[in-house]
Structure 1
Amino acid sequence: MESIELFTGAGGLALGTHVAGFHHRALVELDHDACETLRRNSQERALPGIESWKVHETDVRLLSFDIFGPVDLVAGGAPCQPFSLGGKHKGMEDPRNMVPEFVRAVRELQPRAFILENVKGLLRQSFSSYFSYIFLQLNYPTVTRVRREDWTEHLRRLEDIHTKGRFRGLKYNVIFQLLNAADYGVPQCRERVFIVGFREDTELDWHFPEPTHSEEALLRDQWVTRDYWKRHGIRVPKQRPSFSSERLQQLERDEVLKTAPWRTIRDALRGLPEPRVDRAPAHIFNHRLNPGARVYPGHTGSPLDLPSKTLKAGVHGVPGGENMIAFPDGSVRYLTVREAARVQTFPDTWRFEGAWSEAMRQLGNAVPMELAAVVARSVAEKLSQADAR
């Protein structure tokens, strides 16, 4: 199945859709260092089948999507700073808002399906009207703004079309959900909005995949069965988290859980040598220690035996707290780029270009590969079922 990837960044969503079976005709990205990351990994065949990736280093607003021909899937994580909880909250007025370009790609390419990813802040109450606007544009991508029509007037027109229910043009059946990456095996608590649509004429029914991992299962693994500590060959800590005795009793009663334990930073880093400042191991990419980590208010790091906090790119550089490991003895240090890549579930063969801060920015902007793959595999399976009819 053919696809095009927009706002590709370092490639998290692109890798997820790739391993799900989609062949990328083009990857579009403006940032030079991110493009260098994509090119180098493609040239070095960091994963099988990506040597044919064509990276377009350009502003998506300058592209005519017709040149890419018909595709089955359009996917992308439109720049999230306009809606990020850590950003300037300009939303629809922010010039970095690229959601309209994603809608244009759907309109021009008319794929059988699309996957749009964005930050949790998109669902903030202050953006509720604009989220409805995005949602209805993706339902009816050919209903475009007319001259001198602002977005609120366009929204009202889309609402009229939607409630009337007799639209005969290009239409997509669209649903959205807020997903926590930790619930799907990613060692990071990272909440992201996924908006998925299927072209109406495919007549496909689809729902988001059910979570496979849970916090309850992790707590039981650590403090009831204690299998977690046995797997890592370490003693059970004397001090356990401060949760109620009622919760512990419930965990003890839950003999069988349908979900696996959340994965932790310790799980993610298993097998990696301790990083050094002076040099990185020759056989492990991007694993040099960046010194200087310290704790201060609001920057306490991520506990080693829990999923990481959300890795962030930051408007004014990389935030220290989210990109630090907090060890049980009270010490902290920065994640190396390779460790952060493990937290984002990139393969160890994936090399990041640029200095530490630039590579961490790429990772902070990325979609966890495994979360992307879970959603993309489900979409690919449904499209394959349609092909088999």
Structure 2
Amino acid sequence: MTRTNKLKYTSVEICAGAGGQAVGLHNAGFKHAALVEIDKDACQTLRDNTEEDSEWSCKVIEADLRQFDSADLGLKPGELDLLAGGVPCPPFSAAGKQLGRDDERDLFPRMLELVDELEPKAVMIENVRGLLDPKFAEYRQEIIKRLESMGYEECYWEVLEAKRYGVPQLRPRAILVAMKPEYAEHFQHAKPDVRDEVSVGAALHDSMRARYDAVADDPRAEKVFKDWHDRAVEGVAPTVVGGSKKHGGADLGPTRAKRAWAGLGVCGLGVANEVDVMLKKKTWERDLFAVVGEEPGEKPGEEPEMILGPKLTVSQAAIIQGFPESWKFSGLKTAAYRQVGNAFPPPVAQAVGEQIYAAFESAAKARRD
């Protein structure tokens, strides 16, 4: 990922997580005034990746959004260009029982309060595609009416599929963009242009090669690497899931997802150690030679041959999410993996951010002319 625009417009992001949306918007040309997040490990991830980078130099605010005071941002109403956020998904996801407004985790009301308090030029909200199900039609309409009452125009509320934006993963996300009318009239009222699809094999080739090269003395290494690549070279991954803190440990999702990962030559029963830890703890048998499936014997009665393959590391899961390889995650392995699994893919955020940026630029040009 590369930055496509000059850092020019300001943004504040709530529910920032580990920074997926922040990375994408930064690359689209938005300079973050603040990133607000409740999880301490995710906040540390944000600090670790931004504090020493002069291009970022933003505040990381660890806070529960319900108690967060927007006055702490030091921004006058109307001064902010973009307010963005991925409010919690469980109220609208199948896994979260789709309780919507009746779910105590629903932060849409607080997001709208912040819009009212800050009066940004544009608003961008990300959530699961379940939010666009018919059962939430009335709730969506209430949100739009509230935005309209504050002087905003809906630009679109659409499902964007991450794989169409260079993310090697099936990850549909519902994106709402609303802008003040003087900017909305310059907005391209359509989904962002799609980008080339990237396979899991292409995305992970170099990192997987390095992992097997680290155990090159094992006679199985080359064959298992090749078998993995042959399976992954054309496919995209199922949705990477982070799970909740109530879940015991990190893995690649429910049974159907694990089956899809197995088709890509990956074992979904856990997350692997990074190379240095793997070598130190000698966990390569578990991390690189896990049982992925089995091939039936060629002759009747012949024992099936076990198919071996890797588990993914946290850094590889982050690549599947579209993070740049330079972005590092704080906390123990399970905490780090959850940050990755709950993230908004940066390339999708960048594509939407570029549309918002272009509308601002067009509006500015129109004022000059």
Q: What TM-score do you get using the length of structure 2 for normalisation?
A: 0.72
CA distance in 1, matches of 2:192, 2:354: 13
Is 1:109–2:118 an aligned residue pair? yes
Once the two structures are superposed, residues 167-225 of structure 1 have per-residue CA deviations (whole angstroms, 9 ceiling, x without a partner) of: xxx33334211110111111111000000011124352322344424xxxxxxxxxxxx
Structure 1, unmatched stretches of 5+, are 142-169, 214-259, 281-301
CA contact (8 A) 1:304 1:326 kept: no
CA distance in 1, matches of 2:119, 2:155: 14
CA distance in 2, matches of 1:352, 1:100: 30
Task: Give 1:354's aligned residue.
Answer: 331
Higher relative helix content: 2
1:271 is paired with a residue whose SS is helix
CA contact (8 A) 2:156 2:178 kept: yes
- Comparing 190-199 with 35-44, greater Cα deviation is found at 35-44
State which of 88, 97, 102 in structure 2 corresponds to 1:93: 102
CA distance in 1, matches of 2:12, 2:32: 5
Task: Give 2:43's aligned residue.
Answer: 35
Task: Give 1:364's aligned residue.
Answer: 341
Instruction: Give the alignment's Cα RMSD to 1 decimal.
Output: 2.4
**1:1-389 mapped onto 2 (5 Å cutoff):** 1-45=9-53, 49-50=55-56, 52-68=57-73, 69=75, 70-141=79-150, 170-202=151-183, 204-206=185-187, 207-213=189-195, 260=196, 262-274=197-209, 305-315=234-244, 316-317=246-247, 318-321=250-253, 322=257, 324=261, 326-327=263-264, 330-388=307-365, 389=367
Q: Tell me by how many angstroms 1:304 deviates.
A: 5.4
CA distance in 2, matches of 1:312, 1:208: 28
Instruction: Sort the Cα spacing of 1:271 and 1:125 in 2 relative to 1 into closer, same or farther, 3 A.
Output: same
Structure 2, unmatched stretches of 5+, are 1-8, 216-230, 266-294, 296-306
Q: Tell me by how many angstroms 1:274 deviates.
A: 4.3
Once the two structures are superposed, residues 56-78 of structure 1 have per-residue CA deviations (whole angstroms, 9 ceiling, x without a partner) of: 00011222224431200001100
Q: Tell me by how many angstroms 1:303 deviates.
A: 5.1
CA distance in 1, matches of 2:233, 2:101: 38
Letter in 2 for 1:4: V
Q: Tell me by how many angstroms 1:84 deviates.
A: 1.3
1:61 is paired with a residue whose SS is coil
Task: Provide the aligned length of Structure 1 versus Structure 2.
Answer: 289
Letter in 2 for 1:271: D
Once the two structures are superposed, residues 55-107 of structure 1 have per-residue CA deviations (whole angstroms, 9 ceiling, x without a partner) of: 00001122222443120000110011111122232211111111111111111
Q: What TM-score do you get using the length of structure 1 for normalisation?
A: 0.69
CA contact (8 A) 1:275 1:336 kept: no
Q: Tell me by how many angstroms 1:387 deviates.
A: 1.7
Letter in 2 for 1:202: Y
% same residue: 35
